[in-house]
Amino acid sequence: MSHREQDRVRIFDTTLRDGEQSPGASMTLEEKLRIAEQLEAMGVDVIEAGFAIASNGDFECVRQIAERIRNSTVCSLARAALGDIDRAAEAIKPARSGRIHTFIATSPLHMKVKLQMEPDAVLDAIHQSVSHARRFTDDVEWSAEDATRTETDFLYRAVDTAIRAGATTINLPDTVGYATPDEYGQMYRDVIKNVSNADKAVFSTHCHNDLGLAVANSLAGVMGGARQIECTINGIGERAGNAAMEEVVMALKTRADAMPFHTNIVSTEISKASKLVSLVTGFSVQNNKAIVGANAFAHESGIHQDGVLKAAETYEIMTPESVGVTKTTLVLGKLSGRAAFADKLKELGYELGDNAFQDCFRRFKELADRKKTIYDEDIVALVDDEVATSENRLQVVALNTHSSSSGTAVADLTMKIDDEEKKTVVYGSGPVDAVFNAIKELVEFDPHLVLFQVHAVTHGTDAQAECTVRLEENGRTVNGQGAHEDTVTAAARAYVAAANKLLVKREKTMPDPIVAAG
């Protein structure tokens, strides 16, 4: 593998900006901070933390991430408008290393229909926006939205204008996921050859996955001369998503013989990042997803199993350990004490305060009484659930449900609402319906249930259930998770976790986003 600096591909993660544009993927400030910290731990070069002008909430996320993150560059998106750029500059001010990423569309269709601007006016806007951004930072990225449907000569002029105005990174997005790998790679070769000052900037790829080509196109862009890839964890993003970071990173690492480039990503952190993004967004990862799917390293057929036992390389082109997948281990039992539990939490990367530790330990003991074998996954689910549901305005105190195959179900629920206990008994068509109705009655609200999802944390009928609930109210979407060995209790905890976030969002009365970018 080459370690020359000119062969290094920078990883620009846009999970928190383009990724959050996936319908339903909204994240809270705390969740974004957690993800940003994980991205930093992975060695991501640039974290696109949001679109500062879009809302007060977005601004605050970018600002707090800029304050917290020390080893990655923190970036905010901005349209080619002075107000957008001022807001982005303000948000990244606390960053040790901050970037402004400004963009404008350059394809004939977008210029005419969306912007209603003549090409010369677009060139002026590029010059003004990039020069303005340079007043705040030396690190300015400019993107030609819909670059792959832009006329070649106009693209050269636009890139030339941006670099002259001071852009240090030039991004040529395949905004609509239309290009083929050959075309996308050739676009970089052509631009780099025909723009006289191209050597003054780093070129970047940004690919959407509408035809399933985002990763192939990103790699073709690198072969064509790009040295930055924009991507998201699990490939989440607008429509069919963006290029998946775990796939581009592992493709470059595994096939360094064919693609002699390297990244600074700590690949053993990939699995953790994938699980975190999936948990926070409620988007489960398909089993056969490359690198991070549950079956990515599973060998089902006898011939394959036999081969892998003899020599892993027979059917494994990379090891599960290289992406942070460790064998499921039997961890603790009924007799494990506080010290063993504390050690396990440390190994799993948790640092809990005293109260949270005591609550988690109590729940672990309760779980161990009911469940024979406790795995790492059980501990992760339990701690994530406890952290998400404690110290909130709404809490489940007690829940009893009764259901039968031949009649309605009933839920008897006690909740703590702002420190006051309230109780109700409500009917429903099934136990989950009854519990959700009971919560709505006690909280006195009626949000739209967008998603209800259940999965088993481990194998066996005594496995904990992990539930995700997505709620929507007045254009605000939130996700909540809950885990418990009783599936209906897990569902209730997930609903209440989402409801708590909705209350926080209501309090902050964030204005709706003013604009979305591809």
* Closest CB to ligand KIV: residue number: 518
Q: In degrees, to the nearest 5, what angle opens at C-alpha 335 toward C-alphas 334 and 336?
A: 95
The item of ligand KIV, Zn ion, none sharing an interface with residue 103, based on CB under 5 to 8 Å by kind, is ligand KIV
Shortest approach of Zn ion to residue 115 CB, angstroms? 17
Angle between helices 487-508 and 56-68 (to 10 degrees): 100
Q: CA-to-CA distance for 371 and 318, rounded, in angstroms?
A: 34
Q: CA-to-CA distance for 49 and 33, rounded, in angstroms?
A: 9
Under rule CB under 6 A, residue 234 binds ligand KIV: no
Shortest approach of ligand KIV to residue 128 CB, angstroms? 18
Under rule CB under 6 A, residue 156 binds ligand KIV: no
E strands, 109-201, where? 140-145, 169-174
Closer Cβ to ligand KIV, 204 or 500, answer by number = 204
Exposed e or buried b per residue across 120-149, where buried means at least 16 C-beta atoms within 10 angstroms of its C-beta: eebbebbbbbbbbbbebbebbbbbbbbbbb
Specify the stretch interacting with ligand KIV by CB under 6 A; choose among 171-179, 244-252, 337-345, 440-448.
Answer: 171-179
Q: CA-to-CA distance for 338 and 358, rounded, in angstroms?
A: 9
Closer Cβ to ligand KIV, 17 or 253, answer by number = 17
The item of ligand KIV, Zn ion, none sharing an interface with residue 143, based on CB under 5 to 8 Å by kind, is ligand KIV
Q: CA-to-CA distance for 335 and 327, rounded, in angstroms?
A: 23
Under rule CB under 6 A, residue 18 binds ligand KIV: yes
Q: CA-to-CA distance for 166 and 153, rounded, in angstroms?
A: 20
Specify the stretch interacting with ligand KIV by CB under 6 A; choose among 168-176, 214-222, 278-286, 335-343.
Answer: 168-176
Q: CA-to-CA distance for 470 and 377, rounded, in angstroms?
A: 22
Distance from the first to the final alpha carbon of the chain = 34
Q: CA-to-CA distance for 338 and 416, rounded, in angstroms?
A: 28
Shortest approach of Zn ion to residue 209 CB, angstroms? 10
Q: Which 450-479 positions form the footprint of Zn ion (CB under 5 A)?
A: none
Closer Cβ to ligand KIV, 65 or 517, answer by number = 517
Per-residue binder mask for ligand KIV (CB under 6 A), 270-309, x = binder: ----------------------------------------
Q: Which 204-233 positions form the footprint of ligand KIV (CB under 6 A)?
A: 206, 208
The item of Zn ion, ligand KIV, none sharing an interface with residue 246, based on CB under 5 to 8 Å by kind, is none
Under rule CB under 5 A, residue 18 binds Zn ion: yes
The item of Zn ion, ligand KIV, none sharing an interface with residue 479, based on CB under 5 to 8 Å by kind, is none
Strand order in the sheet with 476-484: 448-456, 465-473, 476-484
Q: CA-to-CA distance for 357 and 362, rounded, in angstroms?
A: 9
Structure tokens at 43: 């060695």
Shortest approach of ligand KIV to residue 51 CB, angstroms? 9
Closer Cβ to Zn ion, 88 or 494, answer by number = 88
Under rule CB under 5 A, residue 241 binds Zn ion: no
Closer Cβ to ligand KIV, 191 or 463, answer by number = 191
- Out of 107, 143, 169, 228, name the contact with ligand KIV by CB under 6 A: 143
Q: How far is CA 495 from CA 132, 408, 435, 485, 503, in A?
A: 45, 21, 9, 16, 12
Under rule CB under 6 A, residue 31 binds ligand KIV: no
Q: Which 77-116 positions form the footprint of ligand KIV (CB under 6 A)?
A: 103
Shortest approach of Zn ion to residue 72 CB, angstroms? 19
Angle between helices 181-194 and 152-165 (to 10 degrees): 50
Structure tokens at 89: 């500059």
Shortest approach of ligand KIV to residue 275 CB, angstroms? 25
- What is the sign of the dihedral through the CA atoms of 289, 294, 299 and 301? negative
Closer Cβ to ligand KIV, 76 or 97, answer by number = 76
Closer Cβ to ligand KIV, 206 or 493, answer by number = 206
Q: In degrees, to the nearest 5, what angle opens at C-alpha 498 toward C-alphas 414 and 66?
A: 135
Closer Cβ to ligand KIV, 144 or 383, answer by number = 144
Under rule CB under 5 A, residue 518 binds Zn ion: yes
The answer to whether the CB of 176 falls within 8 A of the CB of 149 is yes
Shortest approach of Zn ion to residue 396 CB, angstroms? 39
Q: With contacts defined by CB under 5 A, how many residues of the chain interact with Zn ion?
A: 2
Please choose, from the candidates 417, 407, 416, 428, the residue with its C-alpha nearest in 3D space to the C-alpha of residue 488: 428
Shortest approach of Zn ion to residue 238 CB, angstroms? 6
Q: How far is CA 445 from CA 418, 473, 500, in A?
A: 15, 10, 12
Contact set with Zn ion (CB under 5 A): 18, 518
Contact set with ligand KIV (CB under 6 A): 18, 103, 143, 145, 171, 173, 175, 206, 208, 517-518
